[in-house]
Amino acid sequence: AQHAIARILDQPRLELTGLHCHLGSQITTVKPYLAAVRRLVGLMARLHEQHGLVLPELDLGGGHGIAYRPGEPALDLTALARKVRAELVEACAAASLPVPRLIIEPGRAVVGPAGVAVYHVLSVKHTGGHTFVAVDGGMSDNPRPALYGVPYAPRLIGRHSVAAPAPATVVGRHCEAGDVLAADVELPADVRPGDLLAVPVAGAYHLSMASGYNMVGRPPVAAVHAGHARLLVRRESLDDIRSRDIGL
């Protein structure tokens, strides 16, 4: 970092306005952020001693963990705000530095819980004591379970079922062994074709990572508020896919 800063200071057309860090992803405790504050303020103090710099901004990045399934841990944002601010004020006072403008990048923590993916059940297969529920999406609209095993908790919506819950695996339509949206989840035993399954916490990455896998068009995105819905992104059509084909 100090080498990069020296290069920036050597460029008369560049102005160094602050420091930024990114600690990782799905962080559910405040402790790493407090350690980051101490280390970054220490770097700011060295820059002040060596170059006379007083940086006005400090960006702690994101990585705020959210719960994809009930019972999973999530970052306590209220505790994060309180403890990080106190740590920053204390560290700057110890280093005789003014407190910089603090920036965070909540990203997933904001849009993740705001989104719900909705699928139609296409077929239900019972084999070897296990139930597979196939839906009209999969790897094309959510590759994360196949890529790195992110767990989700699908729920039956649109009708009330009194059937007992039973273990099931929700799979996609793409005819791939890895096309699994949720493995070993509890769904009503009477789940059937035509049902709707909702997958909570789908607001982050579903849209941005969606693809035309196996030439399946990307799904639409709708905004819902107070019982009213409006389309934000229309469904990708076959004409959209064909429009890129310039012919032989």
Q: Is 169 exposed, middle or buried (0-12, 13-18, 19+ CB in 10 A)?
A: middle
Q: Is 9 exposed, middle or buried (0-12, 13-18, 19+ CB in 10 A)?
A: middle
Amino acid found at 216 = V
Q: Residue 191 in contact with residue 160, Cβ under 8 Å?
A: no
Q: Residue 199 in contact with residue 153, Cβ under 8 Å?
A: yes
Q: Residue 154 in contact with residue 170, Cβ under 8 Å?
A: yes
User: Token pair for residue 112?
Assistant: 């993740």
Q: What are phi and psi of 166, to 5 degrees?
A: -140, 150
What is the DSSP secondary structure assignment for residue 112, as one 8-state letter? T
Amino acid found at 35 = A
Task: Write down the catalytic residue from 162, 164, 175, 248.
Answer: 175
Q: What are phi and psi of 147, to 5 degrees?
A: -75, -45
Q: Residue 170 in contact with residue 153, Cβ under 8 Å?
A: no
Q: Is 92 a catalytic residue?
A: no
Q: Residue 137 in contact with residue 207, Cβ under 8 Å?
A: no
Catalytic residues: 175
